[in-house]
Structure 1
Amino acid sequence: MLPKVNQMLFYHIASADEEEAAIEYKSRIADEQEDFLLIENPLSEKTGRFKRLFLGDELSVYFTTESGIKNYFDSHVVGFAEDVIRLIKIRKPDPDRITKVQRRNFLRVQAELEIAVRLSDHVRFVCKTDDVGGGGISFLCDGKWSLQSEQMLDCWLLVPFKNGTIEHASFKAEIVRVVEMESGRHQAMIKFASISDSERQKIIRYCFEKQLEYRNR
């Protein structure tokens, strides 16, 4: 399914500036051509300010269907058009490259990211993830750490993006299951118990970028 005229697009703009890259903008689709979408100027709901886009700017975009499914794709600015207002021309996505993500069934990707885990005020450790998703993650750690189902954790995940920026996503999580591996290490599957929308969006954006990377290999 492709986005349609009058539909709202939400997106991040690729930037070496971490604060800028984290801002989510929205634009209405004003018109479409065979290979392009014409969108209105980006507006940040957080600041209430419009953003000027430039030729070649890379966008990480999603739109939501009436059934609540988020559809993600990459695009970039290819030109501008003068109408009653100035419109921005972006590349229309290839339907095969649109990633569908249900709100309650987030995309997961295999990834070795650094994660800091706090079990209590006196027990903390750093390890690597096994996979990452918008609803939870799994990580591998030494068997010496006492982990069990339903245990609550405070976590900080290091999230690198393809534009070179690195951010931290913090959240509280609940252990769903712990598996002891033949090596003696533990694999812990955790789900997010408390995470802000902005922190979750960082993880979803990373998963989206990784999936596109896998497809382009």
Structure 2
Amino acid sequence: MYPKVTEIFYIHIDSDDNKDGTVVYKSRLSDIDEESFLIEMPMNESNGKLKKLYFGDELSVEYITEGGIKNYFNTYVLGFKEDVIRMVRIHKPHLDDISKIQRRTYFRVNANLEIAIKKENNMRFITHTEDVSGGGISFFSEAKYSLKEGDILSCWLLIPYKNGSVEHVPFIAEIVRVKNGDQNRNIAMLKFTDIFHSERQKLIRYCFERQIEFRNR
């Protein structure tokens, strides 16, 4: 289902400016036609400033519909409409290109990301993830680290986005399961116990980008 007119959009701008890739802008859907959405100029919620967009700018958009369903799609700027305030015309995605997930339910994607781990005894090591989601991650671990269910870990995850920007996401997590892997490695499965909303959103955005990438292969 497409969003309704007046729906609030939360937008990431996938520009060459790395800072823009991590800022969330707020907008509102004003009109819909067969090929495009017409939206208000995006506003940076942290400082109230409007963001000037340009023809061809690539955007990642999130909106929430009834029942707490989060919807994500990628789009780009088609042009502008001069009204009482300037409006932005963006490409209308095909329904199949809009991803949906339940609020508090997160889809998981395979991802080989670098992650730094610190145990409660201050032992530290660096490894790579097997998969990630907005609710937790799995990573590879050598048996010598003796990880077990219930361990609490402090973690720093390195996240690269498709526009070239890189984010570090810190969080606290609990091991919910450790299973035997191959090549003398185990796989530790974690759920987040302490993570800022803004940091979780970075992970969700990465998962969304990966899902679109897999779909387009």
TM range, smaller chain: over 0.9
1:105 matches 2:105: yes
Q: For structure 1, which runs of at least 5 residues remain unmatched after alignment? A: none
Measure the CA separation in 2 of the matches of 1:44 and 1:140: 38
Counterpart amino acid of 1:183?
A: Q
Whole-Å Cα distance in 2 between the matches of residues 191 and 5 of structure 1? 36
Aligned to 1:172: 172
Separation of aligned partners in 1, 2:114 and 2:182:
22
Cα deviations across residues 60-114 of structure 1 (Å, max 9, x unaligned)? 0011012101000000100001122211000011100111011211111001111
Equivalents in 1 of 2:191, 2:153: separation in Å? 10
Structure 1 counterpart of 2:26? 26
> Are 1:46 and 2:46 an aligned pair?
yes
Deviations 1:23-51 (A, max 9, x none): 10111111111110100010111222111
1:186 aligns with: 186
Matches within 5 A, 1:63-212: 63-120=63-120, 122-212=122-212
Distance in 2 of aligned mates of 1:47 and 1:106: 30
Give, in angstroms, the shift of residue 151 of structure 1.
Answer: 1.0
Task: Provide closer, same or farther for how the CA distance between residues 95 and 142 of structure 1 changes in structure 2, counting only shifts above 3 A.
Answer: same
Give how far 1:146 is off: 1.7
Contact 1:2 1:93 in 2 (8 A): no
SS at 1:128 equivalent: strand
Q: Compute the displacement of 1:125 (Å).
A: 0.4
For residues 56 and 45 of structure 1, the distance between their equivalents in structure 2, rounded to whole angstroms, comes to 23
Identity among equivalent positions (%) equals: 53
Matched-pair contact (CA < 8 Å) for 2:18–2:164: no
- Separation in 2 of the partners of 1:141 and 1:166? 24
1:164 aligned partner, one-letter code: G
Following the alignment from structure 2 to structure 1, what is the Cα–Cα distance between the partners of residues 97 and 175?
33
Counterparts of 2:37 and 2:203 in 1: how far apart (Å)? 27
Provide the TM-score with structure 1 as the length reference.
0.96
Q: Could you tell me the TM-score, scaled by structure 2's length?
A: 0.96
Q: RMSD across aligned C-alpha pairs, in angstroms?
A: 1.1
**180-189 vs 130-139, which deviates more?**
180-189
Is the 8 Å Cα contact of residues 120 and 152 (structure 2) preserved in structure 1? no
Equivalent AA in structure 2 for residue 118 of structure 1 = K
C-alpha separation in 2, matches of 1:111 and 1:48:
35
Deviation sequence 1:148-174 (CA, Å, 0-9, x none): 111110001110111111111110101
Which segment drifts farther, 148-157 or 176-185?
176-185
- Which runs of 5 or more residues in structure 2 are unaligned? none
Quote the Cα distance in structure 2 between the aligned partners of 1:179 and 1:14. 37
Cα distance in 2 for partners of 1:48, 1:31 equals 23
